Amino acid sequence: MHSDAAIVSFYQSRSWRKCRAAFIKECGGLCTRCFRKGLIVPGEEVHHKKKLTPENLTDPAITLNWDNLELLCKNCHLEEHKTKRWRSDELGHVDL
């Protein structure tokens, strides 16, 4: 199975849906990162801290382990996956 198809298949699996639902309930439905900042924002995405790959997709210690999961709001999830084309130093100088 193509790696993308395998990952899509995992996210449609019963084991993932059950794990995801239980994790959201345990987190109280709130974005983990926003909550740490004192903000009350609903979580919408269960994010794998260690990215799923074809090599680790069959390892439940990666795919279903709550230590590897984080409930994030849309903004935090987008921020997590945002690719920067530039960076700035502490003085605000842009380095391309």
- pLDDT averaged over 10-residue windows placed end to end, the chain, 96 residues: 78 96 96 96 95 92 97 92 58 55
Range of the domain at 80: 3-95
DSSP for 16-56, please give it. HHHHHHHHHHHTTTB-HHHHHTT---B--EEEESSPP-TTT
10 Å Cβ neighbour count for 70?
20
pLDDT tens by residue, 62-83 = 999 999 999 999 999 988 888 5
Number of domains in the chain: 1
Task: Report how far apart, in Å, the C-alpha atoms of 40 and of each of 15, 31, 33, 36 are.
Answer: 28, 8, 10, 9
* Cα 10 from Cα 1, distance rounded (Å): 12
Contact 23, 71 (CB under 8 A): yes
